[in-house]
C-alpha cells in the first residue's frame, strides 16, 4: 500500500501544482500557451523602454542551448548582474528535438532574464512541429529592429530542415536603408563557414553583407568559437555545452567583442 500512497500523493501534487500539463497528449503537440505567445513582439515593446544615455552600449549573444539548461541559467544569471548589457540576442537551436516541452523549458528560463531578448530560429527548431511552435511562441522568422540608431537584422538561413531557400530578397530589403544608421548588425543561425548552406548561399549572404555596410555578422550552429575580422567581420559563438556567451560593445562606428567563459 505504501507504493500506492506515493503514487496517489504524486498525482495530487501534480493536480495542485500545475494544471497546465495535468494531461499531455503527445510530444509533438504545438499548442503554445497563450501567455507564451508573441514573445518577440513583447520584447520589442520592452526594448522601447530601455534607456540609453550615450552612443555606446552593450548587448549579449547566447546560442545553441539544445538541452544544456543549467548552463543557460548560469549565463542568464551572469547577464542579469551586468547593468551595462542592455539586451540579449539568442542565436537559435532553442530546442533539440523541437518539442513544445523543450521550447517551454527555454521560455521559462528566459523569463528570469531581466532584459529584452530576441531569437533567430535554428535548424533543430524546425524539426517535427517546431516551426509552428516557433511562429506561435516567438513570431516571424525574419525581422529587424533599430536600437540607439543601430540596425539589428535577424535572419532565418535554415535550408535542410525548412526545405526552402533563405529569403535573400527579404534580407536585401531589410539592409537597404543601412546608410541611415551608425552601424548594422546581422544575425543568422548558420554561419557562412558551415557547409549546411550551399557555397552559392554563402556567397549571396556575404555579398549582401558587403554591399550593405554590415559591421558584424553573428552566428551559432558550429558549437565552436570563430572570429574573422574584415570589412564585414564574422563571429561564431560556441554552444551552451559550456557556460559561454559573447558580449558586443557598440561604440559609434566601431565595436568590440568579448567571449565570456564562466
Partner 1 sequence: MKIKNIFIAFIVLLLTTNFYAQEANLNKDKSWYVPDYVKAQFAGNIGVISVGAGYQLFNKVLYTELLYGFVPKSVSEADEIHLITIKNTFPIYRKKIGENLTLTPIAGFATTLDIGTTTFTSLPNRFPDGYYIPNAFHFTLYGGAMLHKDFVNSKALKGADFYFEVGTVESYLWYAITSSEVKFKDVFSLSVGVNVYL
Q: Interface residues with partner 1 (CB under 8 A)?
A: 1, 3-4, 7-8, 10-11, 13-15, 17-18, 21-32, 67, 69-70, 72-73, 97, 99, 101-102, 104-105, 108-109, 127-129, 132, 136, 160, 163
* Helix (H), strand (E) counts: the chain: 7, 11
Q: Look up cell 556567397; give the residue.
A: 203
Backbone φ and ψ of 261, nearest 5° = -115, 115
Q: In whole angstroms, give the CA distance from residue 70 to residue 59.
A: 21
CB of 23 to partner 1, least distance (A): 4
Q: Which is nearer to partner 1, 10 or 146 (CB)?
A: 10
Q: Which is nearer to partner 1, 99 or 214 (CB)?
A: 99
146's enclosing H/E stretch is strand 143-147
Q: Which is nearer to partner 1, 110 or 237 (CB)?
A: 110
CB of 132 to partner 1, least distance (A): 5
**What is the bridge-based pairing of β-strands 244-251 and 254-261?**
antiparallel
CB of 82 to partner 1, least distance (A): 21
CB of 218 to partner 1, least distance (A): 23
Of residues 142, 89, 147, 93, the one with CA closest to residue 119: 89
Q: Which is nearer to partner 1, 65 or 175 (CB)?
A: 65
Q: Which is nearer to partner 1, 96 or 182 (CB)?
A: 96
Please tell me whether residue 5 adopts helix, strand or coil conformation: helix
CB of 230 to partner 1, least distance (A): 28
- Integer-rounded Cα Rg, in Å, for the chain is 19
The answer to whether 220 touches 246, Cβ cutoff 8 Å, is: no
Amino acid at each position: 500500500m505504501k507504493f500506492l500512497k506515493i503514487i496517489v500523493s504524486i498525482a495530487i501534487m501534480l493536480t495542485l501544482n500545475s494544471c497546465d500539463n495535468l494531461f499531455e497528449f503527445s510530444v509533438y503537440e504545438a499548442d503554445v500557451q497563450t501567455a507564451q505567445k508573441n514573445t518577440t513582439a513583447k520584447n520589442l515593446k520592452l526594448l522601447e523602454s530601455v534607456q540609453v544615455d550615450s552612443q555606446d552600449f552593450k548587448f549579449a549573444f547566447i546560442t545553441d542551448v539544445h538541452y544544456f539548461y543549467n548552463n543557460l541559467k548560469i549565463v542568464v544569471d551572469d547577464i542579469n548582474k551586468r547593468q551595462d548589457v542592455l539586451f540579449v540576442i539568442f542565436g537559435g537551436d532553442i530546442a533539440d528535438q523541437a518539442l513544445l516541452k523543450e521550447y517551454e523549458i527555454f521560455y521559462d528560463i528566459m523569463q528570469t532574464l531581466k532584459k529584452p531578448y530576441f531569437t533567430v530560429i535554428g535548424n533543430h527548431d524546425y524539426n517535427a512541429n517546431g516551426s509552428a511552435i516557433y511562429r506561435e511562441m516567438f513570431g516571424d522568422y525574419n525581422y529587424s529592429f533599430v536600437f540607439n540608431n543601430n540596425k539589428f537584422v535577424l535572419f532565418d538561413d535554415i535550408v535542410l530542415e525548412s526545405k526552402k531557400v533563405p529569403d535573400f530578397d527579404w534580407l536585401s530589403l531589410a539592409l537597404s536603408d543601412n546608410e541611415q544608421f551608425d552601424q548594422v548588425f546581422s544575425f543568422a543561425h548558420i554561419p557562412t563557414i558551415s557547409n549546411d548552406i550551399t557555397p552559392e548561399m554563402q556567397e549571396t549572404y556575404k555579398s549582401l553583407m558587403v554591399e550593405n555596410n554590415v559591421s558584424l555578422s553573428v552566428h551559432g550552429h558550429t558549437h565552436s568559437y570563430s572570429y574573422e575580422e574584415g570589412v564585414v567581420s564574422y563571429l561564431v559563438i560556441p554552444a551552451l555545452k559550456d557556460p559561454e556567451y559573447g558580449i558586443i560593445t557598440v561604440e559609434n562606428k566601431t565595436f568590440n567583442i568579448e567571449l565570456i567563459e564562466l
